[in-house]
Amino acid sequence: MNQETLLSSFRDEPGRRWSSVDGKLYGPDGFHPSTLGQALLANTILDALRLGYRADTQALRLTDQEILNEAGLPFTGGPDFNTAAFVKVQPTPEPSALALLGLGALGLATRLRRRA
């Protein structure tokens, strides 16, 4: 489902589109994801696992038709909504992560020495 297909599913009257907090991507409280929001998040997480760790997640992904059917929205066809575009994979850890890991190991070693 492309962005236009997604947005066209959110019309409640001619010419008016729903915002993301009108009960489509988020629930009535405007905070928790709705069925549609949870499905898109799940597919994004599966894409992150696939791209970052080369995990085979294809059998777990929901199709756009399954997502819209569960949300009670009509499926109008079109290309799949590409959640992989929201995934950023870094091939190596950031230097700051390595520095924090080193500081944590140093702190643990110092604490263990004091106990001995």
pTM: 0.59
| C-alpha neighbours within 13 Å on the C-beta side of residue 31 | 1
Mean pLDDT of the chain: 78
Start-to-end Cα distance in the chain: 61
Percent of the chain whose pLDDT exceeds 70 = 77
The mean pLDDT value for 39-62 works out to 91
Q: Is residue 97 pLDDT above 70, yes or no?
A: yes
- pLDDT at residue 47, rounded to an integer: 93
CB 43 within 8 A of CB 61: yes
Which residue would you say has higher pLDDT here, 71 or 46?
Answer: 46
Average pLDDT over residues 36-48: 92
DSSP per residue, 3-41: HHHHHHTTEEETTEE--TTTTTSB-TTSSSB-HHHHHHH
| Mean pLDDT of all residues in 63-78 | 85
pLDDT of residue 80: 78
More confident residue, 1 or 74: 74
Domain extent listing, the chain: 3-89
Mean pLDDT, to the nearest integer, of 65-78? 85
